[in-house]
Structure 1
Amino acid sequence: MSESVVADFVGHFFAAGVRGEPPTGRIVLSQRRLVLAADEVKETIPLSSVFDVKVGQVPAEMEGYFNDTITIAYRVDDERRVAAVEGSDTNIDRFGTVLFKVLLNGTTALVRHPARLGGRVTDADAEKASLKLEHGSLTFKRKSGPFTVDLGTVISVERADRDLGNGPHPVVTFRHIEDGTAATSEVGIDSARKTNLLGRYIRLRYADVQEELADVSLDEEELEVLVALYSAGEGVSLSAVVDIDPQPLTLLLNGLAEKGIVVDTETGTKLTAKGRVVVGQRLESVNT
């Protein structure tokens, strides 16, 4: 392989030609291809043929062999094929991020940001941008200036037809919390394959946050305090905007801190990324 290698580790894999128990072999990823190699089987997957990547979903025929895995769907001529890779937790998580990076980094997209702020449609024009993916974030480099989206603050994501100046096309539309406000971004890519991959990556990180929030139970009073904290802004005392005595309020904030929803800083109590998502979902439910 002449091009530089960006990932190389030992793991189990399933690919074309594998029969029975998945072999242990090398998983090697470069900027152009993914190679799965063991003693009696070798599958080379050009990255230009990959149209979907799923994390944590095991092909039906492999359910008895795999637990956590990354599944890659790709085309060979007119045939659709599926490969699955499993390694240690650390390796597989890193591999997933690197794989999406190689597939998407540098992609040219049309971006309208923000398309909405809160419930208000903006007059923002769609701009060409170069996409840069990091673990948990997306950066769009535009002439008007780059912007970065923390995917830990995404509160909804969908694929819909939008006109970004080149006629109606499928775009990835997602709402996220930005500077304390729910913002909507719309991203269109000429390649349907890459549009699907971008949507998959955003949904993957969105699902991670939702899984964390599934274990968080908040009562009505806690939610009201979070919304008040969100609305108060910098330099405003929370005790001045909520009808709760100081001692019970302190206990409530301590409980929210233990849940990872708020954090104490030198300038006061602030919402964490998880907290901003909770508030964003709360506001969404009130406004719908």
Structure 2
Amino acid sequence: MSLGDEHDGASSTGGGGAGQTRTRLPDSGAGDGYGGVYGGARRPARNSRSLITVVGVVVLLIAAIAFANRSGDGDASSSDAAPDRATAPTAATGVKPVAGKNGTIPSGYARDEQGAQSAAANYAVALVSADILKPDRRRDIVRQLFVPSRVSALEAELNKAYDKEFLAKVGLDASGNAAQGMTYVSRTAPVGTKVVDLTADAATVEVWCTGVFGTAGIGSTSPVTNDWFTMTLRLRWADGDWKVDSFSQKEGPAPVNADRTASNADEIAKAVSEFGGFTYAR
């Protein structure tokens, strides 16, 4: 189950070189300086100036070949490095994502591009979690994630979006709990993040997500399915951390579904209880 209708700021309310190069010099003839073994005219003796010139030419030739080989290695290295640059948008940086946690939600992000992306990824998970459908937990989540000036308005909008009618439609009671023998599933996994805009005090980050949503159990009218969507989070630096100012959601990009046999409700419910979530980092 994704967030459903869009929520935005206004209404809400994402070989060579290593090998050796040989320089073959002109053949100077054989024997005692009188030409080849078959005789011939004697070559005139070279004076010292001619010898220096020849040596100089040879040195320059060797240097040019060595430089060419070294340049070839550089081109090969650049070519080999190209795939790394191509995967950079989704590659891990190795930087510790957060300093701690505010309740169950990671907090304490760095005030830079990586920190904004890490915050957006973790906030997307919280905003499309099973807890967001529980009024008591929703109140805490909104206060932890959003800038203080937006808390009241966002809480009112989310309360309206997730009213009793909506909860009943997905098989939950007014408190956001599934019926006995049922397990409500809402697990989101960010696939990647992209910074759209960034300043010292604000950032807009898109988070591409996939997830599983629905109610697992015999007779469920809302079986667990998968979904693909992109969340756009507009963040502001407030109280020493990145906070959400507003967010929106749209469908996709979605791949073609694999031809796999769906697991039964018990397997899905067991997986949700046994497999824990992650703290996401850029």
Larger Rg: 2
Q: Same fold (TM over 0.5)?
A: no
TM-score when scaled to structure 1? 0.21
Does 1 or 2 have the higher relative contact order (CA < 8 Å, sep 6+)?
Answer: 2
TM-score when scaled to structure 2? 0.21
Structure having the larger proportion of residues in strand: 1
